[in-house]
Amino acid sequence: MVEKTEMKFDPEEVIVEFEALTKEAGKVQEETLQKILEENGATEYLQQWGLNGRTDPQTFKACVPLVTHKDLDTYIQRIADGDPSPVLTGKPITTISLSSGTTQGRPKFVPFNDELLESTMQIYKTSFAFRNREFPIENGKALQFIYGSKQFKTKGGLAAGTATTNVYRNAHFKKTMKAMQTPCCSPDEVIFGPDFHQSLYCHLLCGLIFRDEVQVVSSTFAHSIVHAFRTFEQVWEELVADIREGVLSARVTVPSMRSAMLKLLKPDLEQADTIYNKCSGLSNWYGLIPALFPNARYIYGIMTGSMEPYLKKLRHYAGELPILSADYGSSEGWIAANVNPKLPPELVTYAVLPNIGYFEFIPLRVNLDGLEPTPVGLAEVKLGEEYEIVVTTFAGLYRYRLGDVVKIKGFHNATPELQFICRRNLLLSINIDKNTEKDLQLAVEAAARLLVDEKLEVVDFTSHVNTTTDPGHYVVFWELSGEASDETMQECCNCLDKSFVDAGYMGSRKTSAIGALELRVVKRGTFHKILDHFVGLGGAVSQFKTPRCVGQNNSTLLQILCYDAVKSYFSTAYC
Ligand code: AMP
């Protein structure tokens, strides 16, 4: 039945549906809330708030409190431990997702169900429909750098894996990809392989085997694409040799992956020569992706927020090929689709789908009385304002603070178009200073410009607040693509310090209430170790986001960074 529907998937129909939904966004939101509360009103969680069957937004907001993951942790844990009673949802939850937990340093559990899968497909189809108008693709394949995480059973026997894994494993996902004419060119054995280094190698090899058919190069988050082509730079000759001889590299040891790959791999001298010549002819790998995949139409993945620092490198690999940002959501639930695919990632906005959840927006500006403003509904947001987003989902989260800050950049019919700004929580703060992930990103961008003359780049970065010194100070960790002179690094360090223009920081620096910023250069490969560590905790590479600040309690990461630090510089900017 599903198969039939998917075969008939008509992008124009999807757009018509989306237009209808967004024209009545306010009304659809009320209906969606009503549906969520009708389905789940009898749950233990909602019963305690005295809704007494009422499903209107006013009662809902008055009765049910705003929460964070911490408030729901015990409920979710009980579900994971096998409590069969309706705890958070009317229908039993059978699957748990692990969110990347970038901020906490540990993946956290969130409920997953069919409705979430449905909304994922709705989001995929919606953005695809708009994308396909501008960048049509014909029958082809997608080189998707996607990786399943380890799946395990919770104590109560529920399947647990990252949200992306729960989606990729589902037959519905594959059918939708097929209907979009972009099935993944890698077999399941590669996507779900137990060793992501081997999976990555095989993804690259599959891409090369099907190089003429590849129309889209994608991943969930742009980091995975950049990571893949950085790896390509290291292993390309081995890949070419595999294609030349039709023999799989000995680095792939997982039996299921080997046999799946051997079914695809045939000796192809001509193709091997072409790839070899293409790669040899590139200057510093500029335009690598279109050189490898001549029929690729675009590169696709989430490129906003913490992915922005990888854009420069991605553009380098992409050459003239368009790079398109994917949609906005989280393991907790999807929120919005990119329906303006032509916008460059820096300007991308996401249109909220009003029927996939109930959304509230907490204005960021603080009230005169110092109290946090009350959240407003989707139909009440104001153009140009910034908000923290609050979600109520079909999967048992009610008035849940996601921790993301978005800005209203416009409207698609009556639904807001959001720009992702940053995570709400402060990254760097010692006393009265306040710096977010975005502030750090801008400081790093400014300082990295000083490396251009030495033809170097910041491969990745993170930060830490060191309060073991008196006064405390910011530490920024950089992995560089090569070795820079001490003089340049000192300048970068001073520039970083000066680039935090928050008044609290500048004032504290001037009065030495905050010590000199420290820039530590770490060895090449350090951020790979961080990725490995994350994967070891059960995370999936597909959802990996480099933590931009490592807290004192995240001792393993801190150890990796400190152990791998090769040089350290202290700012003299305020001397
Ligand atoms: P996870 O559930 O682990 O995949 O992480 C979800 C988080 O990723 C969201 O709360 C956002 O902070 C971030 N995220 C997801 N989509 C986007 C996007 N399109 N742009 C920027 N950040 C995003």
Q: How far does the centroid of ligand 1 lie from the alpha carbon of residue 329, in Å?
A: 6
Whole-number percent of the chain with pLDDT over 70: 97
The answer to whether 61 touches 132, Cβ cutoff 8 Å, is: no
Is residue 278 over pLDDT 50?
Answer: yes
Is the predicted pLDDT of residue 8 greater than 70, yes or no?
Answer: no
- Say if residue 7's pLDDT is above 80: no
Using DSSP bridges, classify how beta strands 214-221 and 298-302 pair: parallel, antiparallel or unpaired: parallel
Which is nearest to 422 in space by CA: 509, 293, 308? 308
Cα end-to-end span (Å), the chain: 71
- How many other CB atoms are there within 10 angstroms of residue 485's CB atom? 10
CB 437 within 8 A of CB 422: yes
CA dihedral 45, 24, 163, 203 (to 10 degrees): 180
Can you give the pLDDT at residue 1?
33
358: CA distance to ligand 1 center in Å? 18
Q: Is residue 390 within 8 Å of residue 361, measured between CB atoms?
A: yes
What does the pLDDT look like over 21-39, one tens digit per residue? 999 999 999 999 999 999 9
Residue 300 has a CB neighbour count (10 Å cut-off) of 27
pLDDT tens-digit readout, 328-346: 999 899 999 999 999 999 9
Among residues 216, 170, 163, the alpha carbon closest in space to that of 326 is found at: 216
Neighbour-count burial of 481, counting CB atoms closer than 10 A to its CB (0-12 exposed, 13-18 middle, 19+ buried):
middle
Q: Which residues pair with 329 in a beta bridge?
A: 334
Of 540 and 97, the one with more pLDDT: 97
Q: Whose CA is nearest to atom 21 of ligand 1?
A: 305
Nearest to 261 by CA among 178, 216, 204, 211: 204
How many Å apart are CA 479 and CA 548, to the nearest integer? 13
Ligand 1 centroid – CA 104 distance (Å): 14
- Cβ pair 534, 546 in contact under 8 A: no
Question: What's the pLDDT band for 2 if we cut at 50, 70, 90?
Answer: very low
Q: Which of 186, 417, 447 is nearest to 304 (CA)?
A: 417
Ligand 1 atom index nearest CA of 335: 16
Question: Which pair of structure tokens corresponds to residue 419?
Answer: 């720009």
- Orientation of helix 269-280 relative to helix 222-245, angle to 10°: 130
Residue 119 predicted with pLDDT over 60: yes
Confidence of residue 4 (pLDDT cuts 50, 70, 90): very low
Token pair, residue 124, equals: 């995929």
Give the residues surrounding ligand 1 with Cβ less than 6 Å away. Answer: 99-100, 302, 304-305, 328-331, 402, 404, 420, 423, 543
- Report yes or no: 166 and 95 within 8 Å, Cβ to Cβ: yes
Q: Which of 127, 328, 424 to mutate to test the pocket of ligand 1 (most atoms within 8 A of CB)?
A: 328
Q: Establish how many alpha carbons lie within 13 A of residue 139's alpha carbon, considering only the half-sphere containing its beta carbon.
A: 0
Mean pLDDT computed over 430-447: 92
| Residue 182, pLDDT score | 82
- Nearest-atom number in ligand 1 for the CA of 307 is 21
pLDDT (tens digit per residue) in 171-199: 888 788 778 778 899 999 999 998 889 99
The answer to whether 571 touches 493, Cβ cutoff 8 Å, is yes
pLDDT tens for residues 58-69?
A: 999 999 999 999
* pLDDT, position 3: 40
The two three-digit tokens of residue 304, written as one number: 């906003």
Torsion of CA 173, 112, 187, 238, to 10 degrees: 130
**pLDDT value at position 105?**
53
Taking the CA of residue 110 as reference, the ligand 1 atom at the shortest distance is: 2
Q: Is the pTM of this model over 0.85?
A: yes
| Closest residue CA from atom 17 of ligand 1 | 328
Of 299-303, 479-483, 529-533, 563-567, least confident by mean pLDDT is 529-533
Least confident of 82-91, 380-389, 424-433: 424-433
